[in-house]
Structure 1
Amino acid sequence: MSNVKRLTAAVEAIANRKDELFDLLGKLVSHPTVSPPARNSEHAQSLIAQELLEMGFDVDRWPVFPGDDNVVGTLLGTASDKASSLLINGHIDVAEVGDDAGWTYPPFSLTNGKDGRLYGRGVADMKGGLAASLFAIKMLREHGVELKGDLLFQSVIGEEAGEAGTLVAIERGYRADYAVVVDTSDLHLQGQGGVITGWITIESPTTLHDGMRARTIHAGGRVHGASAIEKMMKILAALQELERHWAVMKSYPGFPPGSNTINPAVIEGGRLAAFIADQCALWITVHFYPNESYEDIIREIEDHVSKAAAADVWLRENPPSFRWGGRSMIEERGEIFPSLELDRHHRGLASLQTAYGAQMKQAPVIDMSPTVTDAGWFAHAGIPAVLFGPGELAHAHTVDESIDPEQLVQFAQVMARFIADWCNTEKEPKE
């Protein structure tokens, strides 16, 4: 039997045996890998690792944080040096549930709702993508579809809390010729903007009693002091000015005007009412466009804020300090999601488009995600990538999170076709 006939049989089996896919998804949903608090993915990752082992993958599992392991499976192709490799990536953690009294269905039990949709925390974001990708691979393996290129499967931790599970996997050396992040995209092929958080801190070299305030603000006081809280107002004004400048001068196709924002999210300062505030810290969240890097954004903000500070007689001697990003919102109160600008001419994207068209009988929508995912880490590492997964953002992170079961099946079928095509495509010659 030819590889084409084997692939056809595998694609048909995905639909005929879809209950097995839903059963796998139900097992994943039953593990409450909620983040925060996180540190709870051991059993779900064991299930992923076992699935990969049973399909012949070599499995690498290591702790990123205690109780939260990354799992990476590698299936070597029959001609690894000649055929293109593929990396499939997804995160095992899910959004908070809180008080589940408002849920119609139990959040950690996969339920077939009266409307025909599947309910449970993570079905859309993004255990549905993980389960369907695994099932697609399982059907390819069972039907003997040859893959000449290497296939890597990553189940990482931490995406919901800005924890760099995907970055850690890249740093461990896992790379491929193309990467698909199977996060929520409603079967659109997507790029994304980026997000970075940062702390801007103002500190006084001296701590002054409240009784000294008159000597710092009135004529003849001759005390060169200031309230760090009040000086932060100048930094806020500078950030607002820069944000307006970006809205006027920057744009990107697929994003509403002004999507690049600087949000002053948290402000902390002072010690007691009896003292002039000697310290103030501002936590900002910055959204930027796909054609920008977070390194460029950091330079722009620091340059603008530093120039504003230099125009102030006290801040020029006590300039603000900056701390950017972090590997965990839980551990470090900071995060980075790099941007992903789609290479619309890449052969990997063309292969995925072909697979989508063959299965869905129409061309896919190619656009920009209004949110951020781990997909940007691949672009940042120089690995061509795309965001493509089942589920709708409107149903993610919500009470009664749900997904269309037919879309799960369609996604698995498209992925089976794509894997079989891309992993049998000759590598591009190195320049």
Structure 2
Amino acid sequence: MRILTQVTEQALLQAIDAHQTDLLAKLGQLVAFKTVSPPARNTVPLQEEVADQLKKDDFEVKVQPFYETDTLVSGTLHGTAPATHNSLLLNGHVDVATIADQHWRTDPFSVQRSGDLVIGRGVSDMKGAMACFLYLFDQLKELGVTLPGDLKFQSVVGEEAGEAGTKRLLEQGEKADFALVGDTSDLQLQGQGGVVTGWVKLKSPKTYHDGNRVNMVAAGGGLKAASMVEKMVVVIQALQALEHYWAVTKSYPGFQAGTDTINPSYIEGGIHPAFVADEAKLWITVHFYPNENVADVTAKVEQQVLAAAKADPWLRDNLPTFEWGGESMLVDKGEVFPSLALDENSAAIQLLADNHQTQTGVSPKLTMSSTVTDGGWFDYYDIPCVIYGPGQMAQAHSENEQASFTQLLTYTKIIARFVWQWCHAEKAAGGK
């Protein structure tokens, strides 16, 4: 073990540079685990590996089941003066996007290097950042570094399928003075909007044979009935009108106008062609801004749809019903990702930005993510947070997913600086 009698921040950065081949090896080790989601339920072997490393690096580790053959791992490297010095929580997910129907030039589960590029499933989203975190922890251990404040880590699963692994840990009371989610941001400091999925359901009180349709649609037919597939058009048109109104009337700094979309993503209904469709369900995805919340947004959607239904002579007596959210796209076919607002003036954000500029020579961009991550759960549980990670969004989920090794190494050094300085700083009043 390399132990220095008086370790400095600069010595830590030099060690990260000197042993950078270990970072590539760490990334290859993570990518080799086939943790694609869907189908999910495949992360236990990788999470066991993560837990074992954390223990070797002197973290106090907690492992708990999530779904069958999925687990959550969290750990704390206890500081020498945690009551008076800042704590930091680094968070990331080990599940990766599916490779179904993709055509890779290389084995997606074996990291290949081509010049500065590394290729493999998850190198951008987000095993790249996870490798950086774990590599940093190894260097802290090897150098015998002690920090005054607690350094915490969460290795979660389920993010790719809208499963609330991070939420599970935070609702159990895990917290810190600041959290950093290392998801794909191309080294931009990001917040995000929120998203909630929901089902709009139409149901006929009676089921009719297809032979009755003539009496439903022809003049004088006399049968007061309707096809739920056709009536769903009323719902979709109402949602389109609301989406357009939001685009005109709402905005938020950092977002393209009209980002608060309402996407009718999936529809199912009917029995088979010998029946008039007696039921239809529409699965929608609603995006909202950081200054909004799930309850208010879903209430507005329901108000719009119900108003349209009450103007329809059949639907007014058979109003739509709604189901919102969920904790898994795979299990209950629903998800919620809360939004994350950035406090650009916070001490943590400013310190991270300063370290980015020191390491790269340029100021970081403060932006809003075009997607959603687990970062919103920290805001939901009143923990200041930022999304800040390596990798480009264009590479996330893509064929032949790539990342820059130079960027991964740079990111590791920025995080090392930030960990060192934040955990050596004294807490502000009211710190956790």
- Normalising by structure 1, we get a TM-score of 0.95
Equivalence map 1:245-394=2 (5 Å): 245-394=245-394
Equivalent residue for 1:52?
Answer: 54
Taking a change above 3 Å as real, the CA distance of residues 361 and 140 of structure 1, as seen in their structure-2 partners, is farther
Task: State the one-letter code of the partner of 2:18.
Answer: N
Equivalent residue for 2:172?
Answer: 172
- The 3-state SS of whatever aligns with 1:393 is coil
Give the whole-Å Cα distance in 2 for the aligned partners of 1:170 and 1:67. 21
Task: State the one-letter code of the partner of 2:113.
Answer: N
Give the deviation of 1:40 after TM superposition. 0.9
List alignment gaps of at least 5 residues for structure 2: none
Q: 1:86 touches 1:419 (CA, 8 Å); kept in 2?
A: yes
Matched, 1:417 2:424: no
Q: 2:375 touches 2:385 (CA, 8 Å); kept in 1?
A: yes
Give the whole-Å Cα distance in 2 for the aligned partners of 1:300 and 1:78. 50
Q: 1:7 touches 1:140 (CA, 8 Å); kept in 2?
A: no
Moved more, 1-10 or 421-430: 1-10
Give the whole-Å Cα distance in 2 for the aligned partners of 1:3 and 1:373. 40
Give the deviation of 1:222 after TM superposition. 4.3
Q: Which residue of 21, 24, 39 corresponds with 1:22?
A: 24
Give the whole-Å Cα distance in 1 for the aligned partners of 2:54 and 2:117. 27
Equivalent residue for 1:187?
Answer: 187
Q: 1:167 touches 1:377 (CA, 8 Å); kept in 2?
A: yes
Q: 2:4 touches 2:143 (CA, 8 Å); kept in 1?
A: no
Q: Which residue of 33, 36, 39 corresponds with 1:37?
A: 39
Give the whole-Å Cα distance in 2 for the aligned partners of 1:103 and 1:213. 50
Give the whole-Å Cα distance in 2 for the aligned partners of 1:9 and 1:317. 73
Give the deviation of 1:314 after TM superposition. 2.2
Give the whole-Å Cα distance in 2 for the aligned partners of 1:300 and 1:4. 59
Equivalent residue for 2:395?
Answer: 395
Q: 1:34 touches 1:94 (CA, 8 Å); kept in 2?
A: yes
Task: State the one-letter code of the partner of 1:205.
Answer: P
Give the whole-Å Cα distance in 1 for the aligned partners of 2:57 and 2:261. 45
Cα deviation 1:13-38 (Å, max 9, x = unaligned) = 11111011111111111111111011
Give the whole-Å Cα distance in 1 for the aligned partners of 2:143 and 2:252. 44
Task: State the one-letter code of the partner of 1:67.
Answer: T
Taking a change above 3 Å as real, the CA distance of residues 3 and 340 of structure 1, as seen in their structure-2 partners, is farther
Q: 1:188 touches 1:389 (CA, 8 Å); kept in 2?
A: yes
Q: 1:124 touches 1:403 (CA, 8 Å); kept in 2?
A: yes
Q: 2:4 touches 2:144 (CA, 8 Å); kept in 1?
A: no
Equivalent residue for 2:94?
Answer: 92
Task: State the one-letter code of the partner of 1:104.
Answer: R
Matched, 1:104 2:108: no
Equivalent residue for 1:10?
Answer: 12
Give the whole-Å Cα distance in 2 for the aligned partners of 1:356 and 1:36. 35
Equivalent residue for 2:77?
Answer: 75
Q: 2:123 touches 2:401 (CA, 8 Å); kept in 1?
A: yes
> Structure 1 residue runs of 4+, over 6 Å off?
1-4
Task: State the one-letter code of the partner of 2:411.
Answer: F
Give the whole-Å Cα distance in 1 for the aligned partners of 2:421 and 2:53. 23
Give the whole-Å Cα distance in 2 for the aligned partners of 1:200 and 1:217. 24
Equivalence map 1:190-209=2 (5 Å): 190-209=190-209
Q: 1:148 touches 1:423 (CA, 8 Å); kept in 2?
A: yes
Give the whole-Å Cα distance in 2 for the aligned partners of 1:79 and 1:315. 64
Equivalent residue for 2:116?
Answer: 116
User: How many residues get paired?
Assistant: 429
Taking a change above 3 Å as real, the CA distance of residues 6 and 142 of structure 1, as seen in their structure-2 partners, is farther
Task: State the one-letter code of the partner of 1:352.
Answer: L
Equivalent residue for 1:237?
Answer: 237
Give the deviation of 1:216 after TM superposition. 3.5
Taking a change above 3 Å as real, the CA distance of residues 94 and 288 of structure 1, as seen in their structure-2 partners, is same
Give the deviation of 1:146 after TM superposition. 3.1
- The 3-state SS of whatever aligns with 2:424 is coil
Give the deviation of 1:2 after TM superposition. 11
**Identical columns (%):** 48
Task: State the one-letter code of the partner of 2:204.
Answer: S
Cα deviation 1:196-230 (Å, max 9, x = unaligned) = 21110011111122333344445554443222122
Q: 2:261 touches 2:287 (CA, 8 Å); kept in 1?
A: yes
Equivalent residue for 1:160?
Answer: 160
Give the deviation of 1:273 after TM superposition. 2.1
Give the deviation of 1:313 after TM superposition. 2.6
Give the whole-Å Cα distance in 2 for the aligned partners of 1:67 and 1:430. 39
Superposition CA RMSD, Å: 1.9
Give the deviation of 1:362 after TM superposition. 2.5
Give the whole-Å Cα distance in 2 for the aligned partners of 1:2 and 1:58. 23
- The 3-state SS of whatever aligns with 1:403 is strand
Taking a change above 3 Å as real, the CA distance of residues 284 and 99 of structure 1, as seen in their structure-2 partners, is closer
Q: 1:140 touches 1:416 (CA, 8 Å); kept in 2?
A: no
Give the deviation of 1:270 after TM superposition. 1.1
- The 3-state SS of whatever aligns with 2:74 is strand
Equivalent residue for 2:407?
Answer: 407
Equivalence map 1:123-138=2 (5 Å): 123-138=123-138
Give the whole-Å Cα distance in 2 for the aligned partners of 1:203 and 1:382. 40
Q: 2:196 touches 2:335 (CA, 8 Å); kept in 1?
A: yes
Give the whole-Å Cα distance in 1 for the aligned partners of 2:261 and 2:159. 21
Taking a change above 3 Å as real, the CA distance of residues 380 and 147 of structure 1, as seen in their structure-2 partners, is same
Give the whole-Å Cα distance in 2 for the aligned partners of 1:343 and 1:428. 15
List alignment gaps of at least 5 residues for structure 1: none
